[in-house]
Amino acid sequence: MALAILVLLVTLFFMGFFSIYKRHFAGSDDDRRRRNPSLSSSSSSAHRQLTQSMASSSSSYASDSQNCTQWKYNVFLSFRGEDTRKTFTSHLYEGLKNRGINTFQDDKRLENGDSIPEELLKAIEESQVALVIFSKNYATSSWCLNELVKIIECKEVKKQIVIPIFYDVDPSDVRHQIKNFAEAFSKHESRYKDDVGGMQKVKRWRTALSAAANLKGYNVHGR
């Protein structure tokens, strides 16, 4: 249900029908449950979060579209391969592709080392929307963190729309780098403790995580 709603809302966003969606599906949780008795309370809450996110994104896109460069991709997927590649991310990618949403997913990503290939940086720059899938091991990857820094940069400079998806993690874990994220950063800081440039990079990672987690997004619980 959660994945289907996410795919549907992204599709409606790009088709320009978000106002129609709000008219038919928005409203209180009770209203939605009366129209669809099978809608659970948790699904309704998750639905509301993404509705708010997409409404905000739609408004932002409408006001900035005339100033944007030509986008090559509709969506860029940022994710930790070992966590979600064969599960949530692959299903999300297929769902978007099947609905005609031009989505970039790095099928060859090895996530080794810190350097991101130029072609990947270019794909981020040329994407209208970035969906960032935060999972438990996201912050263990320097690759993912550098990718996120670039995404936040594109949000600020190119008006790219960024929507975080919290997959089996709490937004506060990402925002404040606690629990799994604290463990990951302890290792990063230990690695760079004698490297001034490295510690500055770690600081940028923290800033990017906090910025992304403060955006309206969507909570997804794996099964």
User: Token digits for 200?
Assistant: 């500055």
pLDDT of residue 117: 87
User: Token digits for 2?
Assistant: 């959660």
Which residues on adjacent β-strands are paired with residue 73?
A: 127
Report the alpha-carbon distance of residue 163 to residue 5 in Å, rounded. 14
At residue 181, what are phi and psi to the nearest 5 degrees?
Answer: -70, -35
Report the alpha-carbon distance of residue 194 to residue 199 in Å, rounded. 8
pLDDT of residue 20: 40
Query: Which listed residue (147, 156, 183, 189) is catalytic?
Result: 147
Report the alpha-carbon distance of residue 11 to residue 9 in Å, rounded. 5
pLDDT of residue 179: 97
pLDDT of residue 110: 57
Average pLDDT, 10 consecutive residues per value, the chain (223 residues): 72 55 42 45 47 51 50 94 91 90 81 76 95 97 95 96 95 98 98 95 98 94 72
pLDDT of residue 46: 46
Q: Is 147 a catalytic residue?
A: yes
Distance linking the first and last C-alpha atoms of the chain:
12
The number of C-alpha atoms within 13 Å of 86 and in the hemisphere containing its C-beta is: 1
User: Token digits for 151?
Assistant: 């995404």
Q: Could you give all domains of the chain from N- to C-terminal order, each with its CATH number?
A: 2-220 (3.40.50.10140)
Burial degree of 195 (CB within 10 A; 0-12, 13-18, 19+): exposed
pTM of the model: 0.76
